[in-house]
Amino acid sequence: MGRKIINVLLVGETGVGKSTFINILGNYLTYNTLDEAANNSLLYSIPTKFSVINDDFTEHDVVIGSSSNEVTQPGASSTQNPKTYLFKLKDGNAALRVIDTPGLGDTRGMNYDQWNTEKLLSFISELDHLHAICIMLKPNNSRFTVLFDYCMTQILLRLDRKIKNNICFLFTNARSSFFTPGDTYVPLQQLLRKVESGSLKAKIPFEADNIFCVDNETFRYLAARSVGVHFNQEVTQIYRDSWEKSAATVQRMINYCVNLAPVPMQGIVSINESRRIILRLAKPVLELMVLYEKSLVRLAEHEESLDASKDDIDDLKTRLFVPKMEPYVAEEVKVTDSHYEQGLKIGVGLTFQKPYINRFDLDYIYDDRTTTNKKEKILSREIMVRDPEIDKLLVKEKNTAKALKKEIEKLKALAEEYQNEAKIVLGIVAKFTTFLKENAMISNNDPFQESLETVIEEETVGGGNQRVTQGLQNLLNRYMVKKRVTSQVLPRDISDAMQDLFDLKNTGYTFKQIMEKKFEFNDQLMLTDN
């Protein structure tokens, strides 16, 4: 894109008007007046549905667009998952990315609220930086719920302390309070004092520069006009005045956010950053643990085949190689027979050959936070590592036993490497699981254990290799023991474990690729109601 991206996170209670604000924002940034907006195509990013009563008290249903991420039933929490919206700013040198989030105080109950907070934190951790957290409130709210207090504290606790200077306050539907915070001002001050004197010890600015009061209702006016609802001149003038005041305030808020020093979101050693690491690595760590076990069985079987061929030099010549796994990350890759035919070169002396490729098609999707349709896989190919010295020994038949012994030594050395790496990975998995158990607000079942049990069941029912099945069962047993003796895992332990994964000789590069993979945001663009 080439433009500077201004990331602004919107948070607030359910029903405060985050989605409506995002919809009117695109119109403020495109049209200069309400009349210009009314005489052109309605711009919107988020589908909406509401009822309006016109001058003769006739009720009209206004429906704009549709989306699986939005619930339009009356009284329901609207936005279901965090989503990003990108707006081009008028100067052309910057773009505003607004992150919409599920509302705090979810109408479905506290468990959903806790889950929404977790989704929010996981989502923003993938941002490079955050310019502002915009706390949205309604004016004339004389009290805050305990839940809102709790959720806001949880969000602030998880982020870098520097973010306190990047918080601003946006009051919606402020026409009713003459574009002031109204009765919300005093209880909000009290809440901020509590934050300052409590465990956070963070003084959050709350002054004229970072307080913004707007009226969202101009979007409803425009939406109703777009479907043929008529308003008299008196009502229209009220909305003209509201547009003028709100549009100027929105521009002031954008200027304020543009001039804030961005706070980096990644690389912060915190509970939230640790969760980001775990979410990135959890699936591939488990799948590669399974891959280790399958590779160990493959090495043992190959050693047996070498022993069976020791008296046939011609047969032995075709088998004297070390079958080594090579995991890699690929996008939308399907392994087919064409891979056999290509005979792809992997390095000096290493090639694919049809009889010796194991195809472990291990699906890996980052998780449901991603807003893209891209799918990634961790694949593993088996490569033949041949030793030129052994080939030389096979020139003379009398050296066959010596060549065989040397090859078996290489097999055993590689098997020992795999066993040692698997042991390290097993300990890391136990740390990941324990960390989540000790820190997660919502307690879930162990995803590693469940997934491994599923793999074992699939191998058993599918008539897979019995040695592989038994190896996986032993792996599960070792994991259960390791998990029982692991406790008090700290964020820095997760960072250390991540580095241990990167340092692994055979799979470290794959893990590093996954962590360095750029998270892509599929920013929703404005639509026109034609």
The torsion angles phi and psi of 128, rounded to 5 degrees, stand at -70, -40
H-helix or E-strand spanning residue 115: helix 110-124
In the prediction, which pLDDT does 482 show?
92
In the prediction, which pLDDT does 59 show?
85
| Nearest one of 300, 222, 214 to 253, comparing CA atoms | 214
Q: How far apart are CA 485 and CA 474, in angstroms?
A: 17
Q: How far apart are CA 417 and CA 388, in angstroms?
A: 22
- Examine the domain organization and report whether 424 and 505 are in the same domain: yes
Highest mean pLDDT among 53-67, 303-317, 379-393, 428-442: 53-67
Within a domain: 530: no
Within a domain: 527: no
> 417: number of CA atoms within 13 Å, CB side?
16
Within a domain: 146: yes
Statement: residue 365 has pLDDT above 80:
no
**Stretch 311-340: mean pLDDT:** 58
| Nearest one of 69, 84, 76 to 5, comparing CA atoms | 84
Task: Examine the fold and report which residue of 240, 266, 292 is the final residue of a domain before the chain moves on.
Answer: 266
Statement: residue 359 has pLDDT above 50:
no
Query: ∠ at Cα 252 (246, 257), nearest 5°?
Result: 125
* pTM of the model as a whole: 0.61
Statement: residue 106 has pLDDT above 50:
yes
In the prediction, which pLDDT does 140 show?
83
The mean pLDDT of the chain is: 76
**Stretch 88-99: mean pLDDT:** 86
- Examine the domain organization and report whether 332 and 413 are in the same domain: yes
In the prediction, which pLDDT does 179 show?
94
Structure tokens at 492: 């820095």
Query: What is the bridge-based pairing of β-strands 211-213 and 350-351?
Result: unpaired
**Stretch 492-498: mean pLDDT:** 85
Query: What is the bridge-based pairing of β-strands 83-88 and 94-100?
Result: antiparallel
Statement: residue 510 has pLDDT above 70:
yes
Q: Which domain holds residue 313?
A: 272-516
Statement: residue 391 has pLDDT above 80:
no
pLDDT, tens digit, 9 for 90 and up, residues 147-159: 566 666 667 766 6
pLDDT, tens digit, 9 for 90 and up, residues 31-50: 999 999 999 999 998 888 88
Calculate the alpha carbon distances from 2 to 39, 88, 522 in Å: 32, 12, 16
Q: How confident is the model at residue 237 (pLDDT cuts 50, 70, 90)?
A: very high
In the prediction, which pLDDT does 393 show?
60
In the prediction, which pLDDT does 387 show?
61
The torsion angles phi and psi of 270, rounded to 5 degrees, stand at -150, 175
- Examine the domain organization and report whether 301 and 225 are in the same domain: no
In the prediction, which pLDDT does 113 show?
59
Statement: residue 360 has pLDDT above 70:
no
Statement: residue 529 has pLDDT above 80:
no
In the prediction, which pLDDT does 261 show?
92
> 248: number of CA atoms within 13 Å, CB side?
6
- Examine the domain organization and report whether 460 and 423 are in the same domain: yes
- Examine the domain organization and report whether 454 and 368 are in the same domain: yes
In the prediction, which pLDDT does 373 show?
34
In the prediction, which pLDDT does 348 show?
26
pLDDT, tens digit, 9 for 90 and up, residues 53-79: 877 778 888 999 875 544 545 444 455
- Examine the domain organization and report whether 180 and 288 are in the same domain: no
In the prediction, which pLDDT does 32 show?
94
Structure tokens at 76: 């329901």
As to burial, measured by CB atoms within 10 angstroms (0-12 exposed, 13-18 middle, 19+ buried), residue 268 is buried
If one compares 463 and 74, the residue with the highest pLDDT of the two is 463
CATH number for the domain that contains residue 66:
3.40.50.300
Q: How confident is the model at residue 234 (pLDDT cuts 50, 70, 90)?
A: very high
Statement: residue 333 has pLDDT above 60:
no
Within a domain: 10: yes
Alpha-carbon 399 to chain mean position: 57
pLDDT, tens digit, 9 for 90 and up, residues 193-231: 887 776 556 788 999 999 999 998 999 999 999 988 888
pLDDT, tens digit, 9 for 90 and up, residues 248-303: 999 999 999 999 999 887 654 466 666 667 767 777 777 788 888 888 888 888 77
Q: Report the share of the chain in percent with pLDDT over 70.
A: 67
- Examine the domain organization and report whether 288 and 188 are in the same domain: no
Within a domain: 326: yes
In the prediction, which pLDDT does 42 show?
93
In the prediction, which pLDDT does 345 show?
27
Q: Which of 34-43, 295-304, 330-339, 361-370 shows the lowest per-residue confidence on average (mean pLDDT)?
A: 361-370
- Examine the domain organization and report whether 30 and 74 are in the same domain: yes
- Examine the domain organization and report whether 433 and 310 are in the same domain: yes
Calculate the alpha carbon distances from 472 to 302, 324, 421, 427 in Å: 19, 19, 15, 16
Structure tokens at 128: 């490079």
Q: How far apart are CA 267 and CA 269, in angstroms?
A: 6
Alpha-carbon 437 to chain mean position: 19
In the prediction, which pLDDT does 109 show?
54
In the prediction, which pLDDT does 439 show?
66
| Nearest one of 449, 416, 414, 419 to 434, comparing CA atoms | 449
Within a domain: 239: yes
Q: Which of 15-24, 178-187, 276-285, 501-510 shows the lowest per-residue confidence on average (mean pLDDT)?
A: 276-285
Within a domain: 529: no
In the prediction, which pLDDT does 366 show?
25
In the prediction, which pLDDT does 175 show?
92
pLDDT, tens digit, 9 for 90 and up, residues 474-490: 889 998 999 899 998 88
pLDDT, tens digit, 9 for 90 and up, residues 394-439: 665 556 677 777 777 887 888 888 888 888 988 988 888 888 777 6
Number of domains in the chain: 2
In the prediction, which pLDDT does 76 show?
44
Q: How far apart are CA 9 and CA 170, in angstroms?
A: 12
Task: Examine the fold and report which residue of 266, 292, 315 is the final residue of a domain before the chain moves on.
Answer: 266
Q: Are 116 and 102 in contact (CB under 8 A)?
A: yes
- Examine the domain organization and report whether 79 and 101 are in the same domain: yes
Statement: residue 340 has pLDDT above 70:
no
Length of the chain: 530
- Examine the domain organization and report whether 345 and 257 are in the same domain: no
If one compares 475 and 323, the residue with the highest pLDDT of the two is 475
Kindly give the interhelix angle for 110-124 and 271-308, rounded to the nearest 10 degrees. 70
Q: How confident is the model at residue 107 (pLDDT cuts 50, 70, 90)?
A: low
In the prediction, which pLDDT does 330 show?
60
Task: Examine the fold and report which residue of 266, 291, 320 is the final residue of a domain before the chain moves on.
Answer: 266
Within a domain: 522: no
- Examine the domain organization and report whether 385 and 448 are in the same domain: yes
**Strand order across the beta sheet in which 83-88 lies:** 83-88, 94-100, 4-12, 132-137, 167-171, 211-213
3-state class of 120 per DSSP?
A: helix
